[in-house]
Amino acid sequence: MNFERAKSIILIILVGTSIFLTWSIWTYEPEYDPFEQSSEFIKIKSDVQIVSDVIKPVSILFHGNGQHFQTSSPVEINEMENEFLQWRFSGLKEVSVKRLQRKFDDFVHEDGSIEIEFSDDIPISLYKTVLNIRDKEVPEFSFDRIIIKQKDIGGNESAVYFVSYDKEKVYQGLVDSKKLRNFMDSFYWGSYNKHPEYVAETINSKRTLFVPENPVEINKLEYYIDSLDIGNLKNALFSFPKFVRQESVSVGEEYTDGTRLMTVNKENYLISYINPAQKSKVFDSSSDLLQKSIDFINDHAGWENNNYRFAYMSENEQRVVFRLFVNGYPTFNESGMTEIEQIWGKEEIYSYERPYFSLDSVLPSVGSTKTLQSGIEVINQLKSKDNIDFKSVEDISIGYKLKKSLDSKLVTLVTLEPTWYYRIGDKWFIVPFDEDTGGDQSGLE
């Protein structure tokens, strides 16, 4: 074989090899592990909220020298939380109020005590993930307030009480007495009488409420709003989003895969989702129900600037409600624009209703301060109305009424109007004053 022929053969081999490698690259199809589609939703990146972010006190009551003071300041509540979440609890057990030789209401609102109040009963089996509890086994109970009493602090360890007001149940845990003394020095003796004074009102034989003695000044607020990504919500709620059909309807849009239905109400910025196949209910414990409700919203970035708080739970209905809070006050809207509501089915979410906007930037407003009636006037007004069963009232609170509007550039605004509310059961109502047009008597869940 001469040299020229050898070069030709080598060149042919190199060209052939090059063609083969090019073809291999163009036609290569890598093997991936099968993608397991979640049966509930696609998880997307989110700012995860933990139990202590969502389950927070709504107010703090101070009782002393026959007087009562209250604060709903988020700053003060956070300061208190930072303290009691560092305590080490032990010896959790039920205690009998009768054995303590006092009436239940007297025990709860006793002079020299601090009441840390929550919106609704919280299962200790969930909240123990927040508290530092040394017990290996913790009794099953729920509570809606934590109470620290000055007179019960003594020795090396002293009692802190977990109370369910509706069930009239009291449990206690023991905490280092030095920490409790420091807590009372900082928050009770140091600040209790710096807050507005409240008066006690006996509603019925089992309930006393506290309302401000004097008129209350509170700012009216206006915000621009941002919209959440509808695509993210669709991907979160449907197992196979690419098979979802979209249709225009009078209120906005509908999305369906033939079973599930998601309606987008563009007028009120609301999402309504239902999965009829999940209607049959398997009853989870209240702890599991609340935890999976928090996790569900975490998994599709649904907390909207972290302004939502746990508000209400019904184990029988498998229903959980989170409410928008602004500057420590709950917000309300008759269309549901301030609530995230979940109802759970046998395996997945059965019903899900929520806003798809978040409060963006607050607007400066001239003359925005509003003076609300005193709590005493509120009580008298409720008593004077024949269509209100005063003895059934379970709570009275200042809140914001959310109203939607457009500015001169047709940008959507929401106004938060300070308003008095009262609650019967799980429904909130506007207190109807004479200058109102009869008051809004529709239930605001």
Q: Give per-residue pLDDT as tens, 369-388.
A: 899 999 999 999 999 999 99
Rounded to whole angstroms, the Cα distance separating 229 from 242 reads 16
- Tell me whether residue 350 is exposed, middle or buried, using C-beta atoms within 10 angstroms of its C-beta: 0 to 12, 13 to 18, 19 or more: buried
Given a contact cutoff of 8 angstroms between Cβ atoms, the answer to whether 337 and 355 are in contact is yes
Query: Could you report the per-residue pLDDT of 48-81, keeping only the tens digit for each?
Result: 899 999 999 999 999 999 999 999 999 999 999 9
Rounded distance between C-alpha atoms, residue 336 and residue 358, angstroms: 14
Per-residue pLDDT for 435 more than 70?
no
Element (H, E) at 179: helix 177-183
Confidence of residue 1 (pLDDT cuts 50, 70, 90): low
Q: How far apart are CA 112 and CA 150, in angstroms?
A: 5
pLDDT at 2: 59
Q: Contact at 8 Å (CB) between 60 and 70?
A: yes
Q: What is the pLDDT of residue 27?
A: 46
pLDDT band at 11 (very low <50, low <70, confident <90, very high): low
For residue 319, the cross-strand partners are: 314, 343
List the Cα angle 207/211/212 in 5-degree steps: 165
Q: Is the pTM of this model over 0.75?
A: yes
- In the predicted model, what is the mean pLDDT of residues 330-341? 97
Burial of 226 by CB count in 10 Å (0-12 exposed, 13-18 middle, 19+ buried)? Answer: middle
> pLDDT at residue 41 above 70?
no
pLDDT at position 437 is 40
As a whole number of angstroms, the distance between CA 310 and CA 35 comes to 34
Q: Give 133-139 contacts, CB < 8 A, sequence gap 24+.
A: 133/88, 133/89, 133/90, 133/92, 133/173, 134/88, 134/89, 134/90, 135/89, 135/90, 135/91, 135/92, 138/92, 139/92, 139/93, 139/94, 139/171
Cβ-contact 115, 69 below 8 angstroms = no
How much is the CA Rg of the chain, to the nearest whole Å?
A: 29
pLDDT bracket for residue 109 (50, 70, 90):
very high
Give the C-alpha separation, 365 to 368, whole Å.
5
